Amino acid sequence: MSVWTPHYFRLFLSHVATYKVTAQQLKVALNFYNISCFVAHADIKPTKAWQDEIEEALRTMEAMAALLTPDFHESNWTDQEVGFAMGRDILVIPLRSEQNPYGFIGKYQGYAIRGKLVSEVAEDIVSILAAHQSTRLRMAQALVRRLEESSTWESSKKTMTLLEECVQFDQDLLDRMETTIEDNSQVHDAWGVPERIQTLITKFGEKKRAVKSTKRLRSKPQKGHQV
pLDDT given at position 120: 92
| Mean pLDDT, residues 117-143 | 94
pLDDT given at position 226: 40
Residue pLDDT, tens place only, 146-201:
999 999 999 999 999 999 999 999 999 999 999 999 999 999 999 999 999 999 99
Report d(CA 205, CA 179) in Å as an integer: 15
DSSP string, 105-169: GGGSPPEE-TT--HHHHHHHHHHHHHHSTTTHHHHHHHHHHHHHT--SHHHHHHHHHHHTT----
pLDDT given at position 32: 92
Cα diameter, the chain = 76
pLDDT greater than 60 at residue 144 = yes
Burial of 160 per CB tally in 10 Å (0-12, 13-18, 19+): buried
pLDDT given at position 108: 58
Residue pLDDT, tens place only, 49-58:
778 888 899 9
Q: Which of 86, 87, 106, 104 is nearest to 96 (CA)?
A: 106
Question: Any bridge partners for residue 95, and if so which?
Answer: 67, 111
pLDDT greater than 90 at residue 204 = yes
pLDDT given at position 22: 87
Percent of the chain whose pLDDT exceeds 90: 57
Residues 6+ apart with CB under 8 A from 96: 68, 110, 111, 112, 113, 114
Q: How confident is the model at residue 45 (pLDDT cuts 50, 70, 90)?
A: low
